[in-house]
Structure 1
Amino acid sequence: MKKLVHVVFLTILLSHSATAQDNLWQMKLSFKGQIAVEELEKSVPEFALDFYEPFLKGGTTAQEVMIFTSPTKIKSVDNLGHVLIADRTKKQEYSFTKGDDLLSQDVLSSDYPLLKNPTDPKDAYLILENGAEKETINGVSCIKALLKVVDPYLGEVAMTIWYAPDLPSYYLSSLPFLINVPGAVLKLNDQVHNSLGFEVSALTKLSDLKEFELPHEVKIVKLSENEGSNLDDASVFQDAFELKAPLKWFSQQNAAYGDEHLFGVKKADGTIVEPANFYSIDVLNKQRAIVSDSSSLFWIIDDEAKKINHVGFEVLYAVNDENMVYAIEDRYGIINASGVSLIGGLSNISNFVGSYLLFSENNKQGLLDFNGKIVLKPTLDFIDTDEQGNILVKDLKISSEVQQYSLPDFQEKYLK
């Protein structure tokens, strides 16, 4: 398993136009636009930041999602291999990444109900304001509406949507509230950042539900206490990253986190090796994993629960099975699974295209490979990509204007 997916809980809504939504539909959704985290944090309430995950610049996020939706089932598969399957009737949700040998199961929750007059002032909810305008998208009639996601204490965000009442609703892990729109959303534009949104294409009607079958011969990890699981056995961490015997993961509720459990390591006789201070885990390979602690610091651990780095990192994420990008005191670098820094002291490192990483130094930008080798020295004034995958370059030695290259042309000019 490459990554433990944190499950987003969803609301179930079983009947929207019961007679019209009897079919199974397949659709391809493509995101458009990007935004820097710093800009987003200035304009969007904190509770809504997760909704913008597909649009974050420099991150590894899904750009396309294949969706299957029917009155009883929902499935989404993104281009990174993350899969979510929901059973509306049984009120269950399953999540996994293609190739995993286990998947997570949880019950669906009632987040973001669609309300006209909210009675409980504490809960977040949706407001849908239909307009008179209609639009045909992929041969399906859609209603244009303003959708507001409201948190009574933290603010709200608004999006223009075009939804089809004749198609069953669906959800995305980053946009869970879409399940409560009375029909499938075929287009969405953000109200504050107009360049951000998505549109559905390649809409197809299917005839059977075989797409919703769970993978065979995999272990199901039940996350919900309602399903009889016991968080104290820490099965989520244990199944994701198995420790050498006699070490085992254990969990302990932390009052500072409300109902959340933190995780630690103990021996078979109960001796604590690592106190319950870990919050999340991301598996690098069979011998190494990345964990975060209650202070939001990241650590590399081995299968004996030993910390490889002696000082916690502010940022740590994998770029392949061996190497990771790290940051400490706002200086970035690449470190390997043995804890050896391959390069460090850089102003910033972020994902670029292919097997390249973008880095900054002295207000100039260059490129690294995943092993920390500089493949383009920091000589460019600006480098980015557009929605079509072209490389945008500002190189004052050539022109004060931004130049556009295809990836092969860029490689030929700058990386040969």
Structure 2
Amino acid sequence: MTRSLFGTDGVRGTANTPPMTAEMAMRLGAAAGRYFRREGRGVQRVVIGKDTRLSGYMFETAMTAGFTSVGMNVLLLGPVPTPAVGMLTPSMRADAGVMISASHNGHQDNGIKFFGPDGFKLSDTAEAEIEALVASGVELARPAHIGRAKRIDDGRFRYAERVKASLTAGTTLDGLKVVIDCANGAAHRVAPEVLWELGAEVVAMGNQPDGRNINEGCGSTKPRAAAARVIEEGADLGICLDGDADRVVIIDENGQIADGDQLMALFATRWAAEDRLTGGTLVATVMSNLGLERYLAAGGLKLHRTSVGDRYVVEAMRKGGFNLGGEQSGHIVMSDHATTGDGLLAGLQFLSAMAATGKRASQLTRQFEPVPQKLENVRYTDGSDPLGQEAVKSEIAAAEKRMGDSGRVLIRKSGTEPLIRVMAECEDEGLLDEVVDSIAARIRAEA
């Protein structure tokens, strides 16, 4: 089966514009409800979480209508991080989970992510089957079997306890001053609460959501404001989450920003030293820096690369039995504790490393020297296929030949918006600029 509705991370788009309409959300809810229903199971349920976007009210209501129309009960968590949905779906014995969020995108966008009863995101095959049910329509429940909806008020508290339990018993953050940027998103309450409960002095920002300011000038994709706040407050570090809190970047005491690659390098080496990195392997995507791969190899560790998307990272982790993976963007997956990327969990693990070693953040965030990397996004018209043009293929082939063994070129379409991402890595920064610029220019010409 093929997919056209689902992208790399669920269904996503501009709110009130196809496919992100209330009507489609209701149809998706009904189709997913029919897909997840199991005969002979009696009462069946789905948990639904959301971030702080204004459109979340609309999609939450529409999906509730869809699920209840096919006889599933709905448990509404309200604003919680995406990993909380992954955690609470099996914890509450639900048959499915839904997160309504467009992650790091602006408030005008929204998305719908599905989780199976095990708390993991769905496979491409499962999404294709749900998409087929959307297209064909589903049989509605008889009046006596319509589902109910109930609001769950303590979802974030359950999640908070699980996250704190990931730390070694007795670990405290006493004496550490932490700036936490919640991106005006799903973790705006739970993240500062958890840090405070563990003993940190907390400086919270991005914690006043109004429905329209999610990710606006803040969060993991725009960490400059938090970096300035770290310097201003004399904080020990900053933790920047994104809108649904499944990714993180760390800011050291000097205001320098560390991405997911540096965090994964730290965690992998620490876990390996403690003999708890399964298979001596870190799972990351094709976007992770070549310097990370070289660093791990020097320490006798392996890097297993996957397609872009944290669910592909998780699929590879499950298949290989690995317990650490993630993305350069800051999705860090620790399968001993969570089923998906968890920004707050990763932040706590970094703080735990500081507490255990007595080192400053700047001593932990520079694990390896990155190979110079350049990324340029080229927008194209939906429906067009610039990467299929011979002129573009020839330009890419020529660039790869120029690079040789000194670097690599990666060209891919975004799974969430009409962008082609042109990325290259090379020690020669002059060659790097020439290669990326030439490919991007050719794609623009053909697009």
- Normalised-by-shorter TM-score class: under 0.3
Higher RCO structure, 1 or 2 (CA under 8 Å, sep 6+)? 2
The structure where helix makes up a greater share of residues is: 2
- When the two structures are superposed, what TM-score results if normalisation uses the length of structure 1? 0.27
Larger fraction in strand: 1
Structure 2 length as normaliser, TM-score? 0.26
